[in-house]
Chain A
């Protein structure tokens, strides 16, 4: 089963239409699409507009591949279950979101090896044609980095640190596996 999802906030017809056309052209595996308020209704996939958070997690868990927008809710959940992830970012210019922030997110995800990224429909079709090459990443922990958890915990318990500035330089998308090492060290 392939799970195609645009998240709960806004429609993303460009993604749904491209995947649906692909599904219609070939013997595609079973697909389920969550399409939000989109105008385009899939013809070759099962679909629903919205699903509950519990069903969302279950569908990600049960799928062999997630095809999605570059929304961090979807990305974090897919990574938590170590599911292969193919993302196409929404574009601000098409009114798919307010700005191009997903383009930057997608680029970072690709760079860190967390997801395969298609920047447009043509790239998405290319990625779908060679599905076995979609990156499979190791699972991430089900929680934030130990560093961030400590910062929040210490602040709440009164060990407040100054909020401004930082000398700390590290990468928010650590190399795959580093996160698990962090968790074990804690």
Chain B
């Protein structure tokens, strides 16, 4: 399968000279945590992705796209979400993907890795006692794999590099 990176240069979005970042999260606390990373993305050309069109007003005038949310119990929803995320990755062509979970971020990291993009997974601060299930499963695809709890970091586990607080 041809990777996105190998596709015709003419189909790539215009270069603005800044690094392109896709910042993606599901709703509620995941989204609130993603927004707390904004200072780290200030120099980048950022496209935000989440599950509720209401969130657009919070990051305006930055670019924003909506995906459906889905849980493990909703297989059709998961397939639709994966397709939608793949489409957005193909259109936006980010250099780096950063996510705070859950399902939308999982697919973005998995597919982004396949497409040759750099990937960052930051497990939600709500996961105090153990990593989230998606956080565990995303490990082989996350170039930077972070927990927000130092006691969950360690050899063979995610790295701890600070938290949302």
Contact = CB atoms under 8 A, between A and B. Distances in A.
B5 interface: no
A165 B163 CA distance: 16
B151 to A, nearest CB: 9
Given A76-B33, A145-B164, A157-B19, A9 B159 contact: no
A166 B144 CA distance: 12
B161 A147 contact: yes
Contact of A164 (B32, B33, B98, B158): B158
Contacts of A74: 29
Contacts of B96: 155-156
Interface string A117-157: 00000000000000000000000101111111111110111
A68 B40 CA distance: 29
A7 B32 CA distance: 12
A81 B55 CA distance: 19
A160 B144 contact: yes
22 contacts: A54-B58, A72-B29, A73-B33, A75-B29, A76-B165, A79-B165, A101-B127, A101-B128, A105-B128, A143-B36, A144-B165, A145-B165, A147-B161, A150-B40, A155-B143, A156-B40, A157-B19, A161-B144, A166-B153, A166-B160, A166-B161, A171-B150
Nearest to A147: B162
Interface string B9-38: 000000000010100000111111100111
B118 A165 contact: no
Given A151-B162, A160-B144, A169-B150, A73 B28 contact: yes
Interface of A: 7-9, 52-54, 71-77, 79, 101-102, 104-105, 108, 114, 140, 142-153, 155-157, 160-166, 168-174, 179
A145 B37 CA distance: 9
B154 interface: yes
B154 to A, nearest CB: 6
B57 to A, nearest CB: 6
Nearest to A8: B28
Contacts of A157: 19, 43
Contacts of B55: 53
